[in-house]
Amino acid sequence: MGQTFWERIGEEVLVGDGGMGTMIYSQGVAKGQCFDELNILKPELVKEIHSAYIGAGAQIIETNTFGANRAILDFYGLGDKLKEINYQGAKIARQVAGDSLVAGCVGPLSRPYESLKKPSEIEELFYEQVQALAEGGVDLIFLDTFSDIEEAKGALRACRRVGDLPVVCHFSFLEDGKTLTGLPPEEAAQEMAGLGAKVLGSNCGIGAQGVLEAIERMGSRFEGILSAFPNAGLPKFVGGRFLYPSSPDYFATYALRYLEAGARIIGGCCGSTPAHIRAISQAIRGLKPKLRPKRRVHLSVRPSERPGEAKPLSSLRGKLGREFLYLVEMDPPRGADMSKELEVAKRLKAKGVDGITISDSPMARVRMSPLALSHRVLSEVGMEVILHFTCRDRNILGLQSDLLGAYALGIENILALTGDPPSVGDYPYAVAVFEVTSTGLLRIISSLNQGKDLAGNPLSQRTTFCVGVAANPGAEDLGQEVEKIEEKAAAGADFILTQPLFDPRPWELFLERTAHLDLPVIVGLLPLYSLRHAEFLQNEVPGIRVPESIMGRIGKGEEGVEIALELLQELRGGAAGVCIMPPFHKYEMAERILEAEASKK
């Protein structure tokens, strides 16, 4: 029987393998496919990659299981194959390992900022993956590319429940020296050391230099073993492929620097190949571990920056909960001409509307950016707008950039939405982003309102966004719907805007179940255009129910505006306002409702 990890790490510096995902990608496997499933579909391909790294000198190879936890496998419809994927991943590596150690690779559960799970739930999700890897015969566990400290802690606790497998925990740091959730290396080291972690380090991130700085900073607060697995630099998309700039010679140079910093495990991450691992192996093979430098790293502390004073709050925020609001929903045009929409906005303003909500390509059908129309309505018509802001088309970087751009244009009211998936629209094969959902978007906006971006970097001026969230009082599972709203309230919601209601009966129950949140609720009101329109809503639009009594009235020729006015009187109790949603751009229906309301004053 060969030496254990602990026996070997005490005598030599161990060489790890390189990138698995980018090697799979280089073999022509589509980037959208679940790479972990290849353990079942193409085990020979995975085996060849392992063999190439062992041939290059890797003394530790990682299983092809980075995303093989239930949270991610369920996304691909593969949750029922979790045990098989992990078990086979370990077996494939074990078959070719020889004297090399096999590390079970475990990645995060989800994208950062979207893990709303409780610590116990996090631990259970990691436990079933680690247990399957252990049954497959791994020698140790690598926790790779972690950004969230709670997920890292849950993963470490799960590993301990499985047995006494050694655990290497890698955090991924960005250009500012923090993880995507704003966690600095020193804090990561202290938190994990407090749980008894014995091997910590950095992988992925922005490249060799960033990993060196990260392990030096971690080492200033951590007495255990350090590990370094950098990317091969930042990739570029050239000729339809991703190319990484760092050469094997560059990796060899940094391998020696990692050694000087006290690292005892050195390998590579994204973009690194067997050539990079061979260069590392040749540079450090036979060298003994270095004593940790007897110094504490002096960190450059960013001077305190106080965000500039924010501008005055929107008038809508001032009215919320103090007077009954009248809003109208508007779709941007399908082309670049918004003259009709601006004319409608002027008429609505004359009718006493407090603001216009502007949708963001509803049903995933192409329309002008709502930001452009919002700016023109605000600047030329002089009326408040609520910008629908979805997570469908932008990553975390784009979401923050566009929010700051909107604020710079004077837009302070946001309706935070996840967004309709492309599959329901004009381009069903378009790629959706959905890096966060509406709850994650609320956290982003809350951070901007505090004067910092999501990573904790200070802004020159804090924002003062007033943020609404969507809700469905008629949801089949009202308890689940209320739980979602509670999460959104905790994330920073200022008001609720409901889907259109045609039945006042669930309204009172909804208000009762959400009263503890103390959030103003604006009720959605959709005047029916015809019986055909009512049938469509009842049978083809999820979440909307049209009672038979109203179907009958529309079928007898009664006007939708008159029915809407009656509904408004029944729904007014407990509402902070109404948002009229004219069908098929029939804004004259909204005008008639506004005129009837004005005549009562």
Lowest mean pLDDT among 8-22, 163-177, 231-245, 414-428: 231-245
Q: Which helix (H) or strand (E) holds 499?
A: strand 495-500
Average pLDDT over residues 180-195: 92
* Structural Rg of the chain based on CA atoms: 28
Residue 508 pLDDT greater than 80, yes or no = yes
Residue 180 — very low, low, confident or very high, per pLDDT cuts 50/70/90?
Answer: confident
Res 270: pLDDT? 92
Res 422: pLDDT? 78
Average pLDDT over residues 384-393: 94
Residue 429 pLDDT greater than 90, yes or no = no
% of the chain exceeding 70 in pLDDT: 93
SS3 599: helix
Cα 436 from Cα 403, distance rounded (Å): 14
Give the pLDDT confidence of 48-86 residue by residue, as tens digits: 999 999 999 999 999 999 999 999 999 899 999 999 999
Average pLDDT over residues 144-155: 94
Provide CB contacts within 8 A for 309, sequence distance 6+.
461
Please, what is the Cα angle at 440 between 170 and 201, to 5 degrees? 5
Q: How many CB atoms are closer than 10 A to CB 380?
A: 12
Residue 114 pLDDT greater than 70, yes or no = no
Residue 236 pLDDT greater than 70, yes or no = no
% of the chain exceeding 90 in pLDDT: 74
Give the pLDDT confidence of 119-132 residue by residue, as tens digits: 888 999 999 999 99
Average pLDDT over residues 24-43: 90
Cα 384 from Cα 447, distance rounded (Å): 23
Mean pLDDT of the chain: 90
**Contact (CB, 8 A) for 266 and 13:** yes
* Sequence spans of domains, the chain: 5-284, 324-529+559-599
Q: Is 150 exposed, middle or buried (0-12, 13-18, 19+ CB in 10 A)?
A: middle
Res 112: pLDDT? 47
3-state SS, 432-475, equals CCCCCCHHHHHHHHHHHHCCECCCCCECCECCCCEEEEEECCCC
Q: Is 505 exposed, middle or buried (0-12, 13-18, 19+ CB in 10 A)?
A: exposed
Give the pLDDT confidence of 529-544 residue by residue, as tens digits: 999 999 988 887 777 8
Residue 572 pLDDT greater than 80, yes or no = yes
**Contact (CB, 8 A) for 444 and 395:** no
Residue 467 pLDDT greater than 90, yes or no = yes
Average pLDDT over residues 135-157: 96
Residue 266 pLDDT greater than 90, yes or no = yes
Provide CB contacts within 8 A for 356, sequence distance 6+.
327, 328, 329, 330, 345, 348, 377, 383, 384, 385, 386
Res 296: pLDDT? 46
Q: How many CB atoms are closer than 10 A to CB 416?
A: 28
Strands 225-230 and 199-204: parallel
Among 2.40.480.10, 3.20.20.220, 3.40.50.2300, 3.30.70.1140, what is the CATH number of 324-529+559-599? 3.20.20.220
Res 309: pLDDT? 55
Residue 288 pLDDT greater than 50, yes or no = yes
Residue 301 pLDDT greater than 90, yes or no = no
Domain 5-284 -> CATH class: alpha beta
Residue 302 — very low, low, confident or very high, per pLDDT cuts 50/70/90?
Answer: very low
* The two domains 5-284 and 324-529+559-599 share their CATH topology (first three levels equal): yes
Average pLDDT over residues 136-164: 95
